[in-house]
């Protein structure tokens, strides 16, 4: 499992997080408020994925990752 380390995880996350989520505003609501909420939510999701989800998956379930990719 040498390829699953902090450096490769950071490289993977950097490439994934460069593409922002899709924002489709609701025309009946204030655009600026929606945009701000979206940015806050997107930032929270990215932070959670980077700091909690993927490190936990890699530390706790590396064999599951390999099995999943080899299907």
Is pLDDT of 1 > 80? no
| Residue 12 belongs to a domain | yes
From 2-6, 24-28, 31-35, 62-66, the region with the lowest mean pLDDT = 62-66
Considering the chain, what percentage of its residues have pLDDT values greater than 70? 77
| Residue 71 belongs to a domain | no
Domain, as residue range, for 52: 6-65
| Residue 70 belongs to a domain | no
| Residue 1 belongs to a domain | no
Decide: 21 and 45 in contact? Cβ < 8 Å: yes
32: Cα within 13 Å, side-chain hemisphere: 0
Number of independent structural domains in the chain: 1
CA distance 27 to 11: 37
Total residues found in the chain within this entry: 71
Q: Where are the alpha helices (DSSP H) in the chain?
A: 6-17, 31-48, 54-60, 62-69
| Residue 16 belongs to a domain | yes
Residue 36 phi/psi, 5-degree rounding, is -65, -45
Write down the pLDDT at residue 67.
56
């Amino acid at each position: 499992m040498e390829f699953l380390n902090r450096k490769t995880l950071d490289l993977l996350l950097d490439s994934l997080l460069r593409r922002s989520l899709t924002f489709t505003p609701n025309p009946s609501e204030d655009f600026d408020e929606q945009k701000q909420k979206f940015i806050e939510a997107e930032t929270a999701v990215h932070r959670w994925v980077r700091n909690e989800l993927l490190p936990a998956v890699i530390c706790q379930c590396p064999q599951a990752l390999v099995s999943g990719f080899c299907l």
